[in-house]
A and B are shown apart, each in its own frame.
Chain A
Amino acid sequence: MKTHSGPYLRSKSISAMLVVAAITGWIALEFGDPVSSQTPQSQSQLIAKGRNLFFNETFNGNGRTCGTCHPAANNLTIDPAFIAKLPPNDPLFVAEFVPALKENFEKPELMRKFGLILENLDGFDDLPNKFTMRGVPHTLGMRVSVNSQAGPRTGWSGDGAPGDGSLRSFATGAVIQHFTKTLNRVAGVDFRLPTEEELDAMEAFQLSLGRQTELSLPLPLKGEVIKRGQEIFMSNSLGKCNICHFNAGANANLPGPPVGNFNFDTGVENLPDQPGRLVNPNIPRDDGFGRPGDGTFNTPSLVEAADTSAFFHNNAVETIEGAVAFYNGDAFKNSPSGQFLASLDPNRIAIKLDATQVVAVAAFLRAINSLENIRQTTELLEFALNKNSPDGRNPNQLLDQAIREAFDSFRVLEGGGLQPAAVTHLKEAHRLAEKARGSWLSKKRLMREAIEALKRGREQLI
């Protein structure tokens, strides 16, 4: 039977096909497969494996993972504010609910109040009396902060890893120290040791975190106080900061070939009224590198400092301004490093900065931290847009991290009352990234708009 519906149906079919094609095209644009990967697939897979191990693997221990103390949600470190939000059964608190770990494994009050972790760096033969209480260093920018002429420097005193002392071996020592079910610390009973392949993967992941290159100071920064802070930082006769923190990193700036990361005795252990010792005056003195220690501690990078407080190996100082002011005090002045600097100064002064100068140096550190946050946020958003995560994260996971970085980008500026115009743009970037996280239809557009807001914020800083 002949009908008259042929052309009508054809037209309807074409329309339907067009609609389907349009929807398919939009879906492909919005949720399509990765266009390309900037990282070789094998390396990408290794990093993804390392990420999974770092945040999820307990090594058959007490339930802790590397991420227990280095959470992605808190710049890979812990502080009292973060700790306060954790549930009481979080594995960080195993000393509070596992009977075998009740004594001599952690000091729960010091952990909760100051984010301090117990370490047996001078041996395990006298647990009640031989221990140190240390803050948790972030694991950002390790590609540019671990190597030295004398070998790899890991942890607060530079000697944090067993075996060959490398970043790769660090996880083995961490499992033994922090993951154990009992204080017997028997491999195969209280935990299992990471395999060679797992160590490779976790090293690759840690090296992928944060900055991959050093800054190159001076930067063409904006803002009078920030600019002055950079000048003081770089001056070898005033701030003298750039000598040990070259380019605001963790490496020393000395004549001759690059020397990398170094240890110094700056007298932090001699600070009066250290928060931890106000609670527990019997905390043993931390003797730093080696056994017995030589009193020196590892130089941390400063680019990431402003959003990873507290400061120094014992979390002695809470604010970045306080950390800069430390170098004015008697503890530094009387330390080997301070006395040495003074011996070279025409006026026998180690470092002497007035309040305005302290704040200026801190403002500079806040600004470069914000710039690093902006760089990371932009990169994460671009990875999410292009779906080419170098470590296997999906766009929403990348967005979650971007939101946290965007938040830090304005928080560090606001904390110092700096660059309000930049803060406005960065807050907008944060708002757009959050909105993108919850959006299905406009995710890409919102991410692009967030990147534009980040650019505007950056232009107020540099």
Chain B
Amino acid sequence: MRKILSAILVTAVCCSVVWLDGKAVVYGQQTTEQFIPMGKSPGVSGKYAWMGEIDQVDEQNRTVTVKTDSASKTIKLTDKTRIWLDRSKQRASSTKADFSELKKGRKVEVKYVKDRESEAEWIKIEIAQ
């Protein structure tokens, strides 16, 4: 009886853990990410993120088309997408931003959501001047 109870307990805890884990989204510490200049995000830049220049902005569908060195990519923004102004070239603090800051011609770095390459986890917009 004790063995059965133990087995049930362990299985149930397992289910709970999987539920807890599935519920949570793994971000990494997104908060300090804000202050990492474009192209410098450790383990992400050049691997799970790409850089380019904004070519088109579709406010209605909340998509942005970005020209990279090799291709043109369209990425969708969701409620969870974080946008920052990278002002490190101005030697100024990076700040939170919103969709309206995504303007044609601006340089951006886009980190896509794991396993969903057409969806943005975060976007950094370079403010150089």
Question: A: which residues have CB within 8 A of B?
Answer: 120-125, 148-151, 155, 159-166, 168-169, 172-173, 176-177, 184-189, 193-194, 196, 199, 236-237, 240, 243-244, 252-256, 259, 262-265, 289-291, 294, 296, 336-337, 340-341, 343-346
Contact of B32 among A168, A173, A265 (CB under 8 A): A173
Interface membership of B71, Cβ < 8 A: no
| Given A193-B36, A341-B13: A262 in contact with B43 (beta carbons within 8 A) | no
With A and B bound together, what is the CA distance between A265 and B20 in angstroms? Answer: 9
Decide if B21 touches A149 in the complex (CB within 8 Å): yes
| Given A162-B32, A187-B88: A243 in contact with B43 (beta carbons within 8 A) | no
Chain B residues with Cβ below 8 Å from A265 are 20
Report the tally of A-B residue pairs with Cβ distances under 8 A. 161
With A and B bound together, what is the CA distance between A199 and B41 in angstroms? Answer: 12
> Closest CB-CB distance, A327 to chain B, in whole Å?
14
Stretch from B23-31, B55-63, B101-109 at the A interface:
B23-31
Contact of A166 among B31, B36, B37, B43 (CB under 8 A): B43
Interface membership of B16, Cβ < 8 A: yes
> Closest CB-CB distance, B47 to chain A, in whole Å?
8
Contact of B42 among A149, A196, A236, A259 (CB under 8 A): A196
Decide if B29 touches A168 in the complex (CB within 8 Å): no
> Closest CB-CB distance, A300 to chain B, in whole Å?
16
Select from chain B the residue with minimum beta-carbon distance to A244: B13
Decide if A163 touches B24 in the complex (CB within 8 Å): no
Decide if B29 touches A186 in the complex (CB within 8 Å): no
Decide if B42 touches A262 in the complex (CB within 8 Å): no
For this complex, 29 residue pairs linking A to B, each with C-beta atoms less than 8 Å apart, are A121-B31, A123-B34, A150-B26, A151-B26, A159-B27, A161-B29, A162-B30, A163-B28, A163-B33, A164-B48, A166-B43, A168-B43, A169-B28, A177-B32, A184-B92, A184-B93, A185-B93, A186-B88, A193-B40, A243-B9, A244-B13, A254-B13, A254-B14, A263-B21, A265-B20, A289-B24, A343-B12, A344-B8, A344-B13
Decide if A186 touches B13 in the complex (CB within 8 Å): no
Chain B residues with Cβ below 8 Å from A259 are 14, 17
Select from chain B the residue with minimum beta-carbon distance to A173: B32
| Given A162-B36, A253-B10, A256-B14: A290 in contact with B25 (beta carbons within 8 A) | yes
Of A125, A186, A256, A294, which is in contact with the most chain B CB atoms at under 10 Å from its CB?
A186
Decide if B42 touches A243 in the complex (CB within 8 Å): no
Decide if B17 touches A262 in the complex (CB within 8 Å): yes
> Closest CB-CB distance, A254 to chain B, in whole Å?
4
Decide if B93 touches A243 in the complex (CB within 8 Å): no
Contact of A125 among B17, B36, B88, B96 (CB under 8 A): B96
Decide if B14 touches A164 in the complex (CB within 8 Å): no
> Closest CB-CB distance, A177 to chain B, in whole Å?
6
Chain A residues with Cβ below 8 Å from B48 are 164
> Closest CB-CB distance, B41 to chain A, in whole Å?
5
Decide if B35 touches A161 in the complex (CB within 8 Å): no
Decide if A237 touches B5 in the complex (CB within 8 Å): yes
Interface membership of B11, Cβ < 8 A: yes
